């Protein structure tokens, strides 16, 4: 016996509308765009970046657009970026490093949040691996690629390295002006959001190492609730905040 299922016209219309929305959304996300500093938007398929220019496909060939002339790039993050973040959170540093490098190498200097975070993540991973020489080199490379927000991020990287060496005085010195500026911001600048997130996370680690558990908890919670722009920092800060509450019985008034 054959079974037949009948659909009402309303169900068919809903299904058709849903398909149309999905197709539209896919097309919108699949189309990259570049906004130049003279406020012109160019639809383009972005192939990569080499630190000085962005390569876009034009017909069967490629053309380089100077990064200095670009105000904004709209492009979804490649799968390797999510892989790097997830692996870093899981402390699978080998996988995180390979994925972060894949993104950073292909999109070197691309002015997007995810490309910038992938590049800075390489130094963070090396710190986690206690390979401090490579960490310092990675932060310096990052600073060259992103001289604006990159300079702030590089200072945080130096603080990470100092904290790893238990040179907490240097770590505090590097972090102090960044933390002070972050607390003055009424609206967190998009370019500096990830840096501020990491700064409070590292500050929490420094305070925790010194036995200042209330101060550490406060900084961890600032990362989680206010400066939540870096997923890895938020995950780490939440873990340490939970541990301090449980092991030290500390709460923030």
Which pLDDT score is estimated for 134? 96
Which pLDDT score is estimated for 150? 77
Closest C-alpha among 191, 195, 117 to residue 153: 195
Phi, psi torsion values for 203, nearest 5 degrees: -60, -40
Per CATH, which fold does 76-147 belong to?
1.25.40
Mean pLDDT of the chain: 87
Digit-coded pLDDT (tens) for 5-53: 444 544 444 444 434 433 333 333 447 999 999 999 989 899 999 999 9
DSSP state string for 2-18: -------HHHHHHHHHH
Mean pLDDT computed over 241-249: 94
In whole angstroms, how far apart are CA 212 and each of 177, 196, 197, 230?
20, 20, 20, 24
Q: Which of 7-11, 60-64, 70-74 has the lowest mean pLDDT?
A: 7-11
pLDDT(247) > 90: yes
Which pLDDT score is estimated for 253? 60
Which pLDDT score is estimated for 191? 82
Q: Domain-by-domain residue ranges, the chain? A: 33-75, 76-147, 153-253
pLDDT(207) > 50: yes
d(CA 11, CA 92): 46
For CA atoms 143, 119, 226, 223, the dihedral sign is negative
Higher pLDDT, 230 or 190: 230
Q: Which of 30-34, 62-66, 212-216, 236-240 has the lowest mean pLDDT?
A: 30-34
Digit-coded pLDDT (tens) for 105-114: 999 999 998 9
Q: Which of 1-5, 142-146, 218-222 has the lowest mean pLDDT?
A: 1-5
Which pLDDT score is estimated for 110? 94
Digit-coded pLDDT (tens) for 166-189: 999 999 999 999 999 999 998 988
């Amino acid at each position: 016996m054959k079974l037949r299922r009948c659909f009402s016209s309303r169900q068919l219309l809903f299904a058709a509308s849903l398909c149309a929305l999905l197709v539209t959304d896919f097309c919108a996300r699949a189309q990259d765009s570049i906004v130049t500093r003279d406020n012109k938007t160019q639809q383009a398929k972005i192939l990569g970046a080499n630190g000085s220019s962005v390569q876009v496909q034009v017909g069967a060939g490629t053309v380089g657009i100077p990064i200095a002339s670009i105000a904004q790039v709209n492009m979804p993050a490649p799968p390797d970026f999510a892989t790097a973040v997830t692996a870093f959170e899981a402390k699978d540093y080998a996988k995180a490093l390979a994925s972060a490098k894949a993104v950073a190498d292909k999109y070197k200097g691309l002015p997007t949040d995810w490309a910038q975070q992938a590049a800075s993540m390489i130094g963070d991973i090396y710190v986690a691996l206690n390979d401090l020489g490579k960490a310092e080199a990675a932060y310096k490379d990052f600073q060259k690629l992103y001289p604006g927000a990159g300079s702030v991020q590089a200072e945080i990287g130096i603080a990470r390295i100092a904290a790893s060496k238990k040179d907490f005085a240097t770590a505090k010195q590097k972090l102090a002006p960044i933390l002070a500026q972050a607390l003055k911001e009424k609206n967190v600048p998009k370019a500096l959001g990830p840096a501020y997130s990491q700064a409070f996370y590292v500050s929490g680690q420094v305070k925790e190492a010194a036995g200042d558990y209330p101060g550490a908890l406060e900084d961890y919670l600032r990362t989680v609730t206010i400066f939540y722009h870096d997923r890895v920092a938020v995950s780490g800060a939440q873990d340490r905040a939970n541990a301090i509450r449980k092991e030290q019985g500390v709460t923030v008034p």
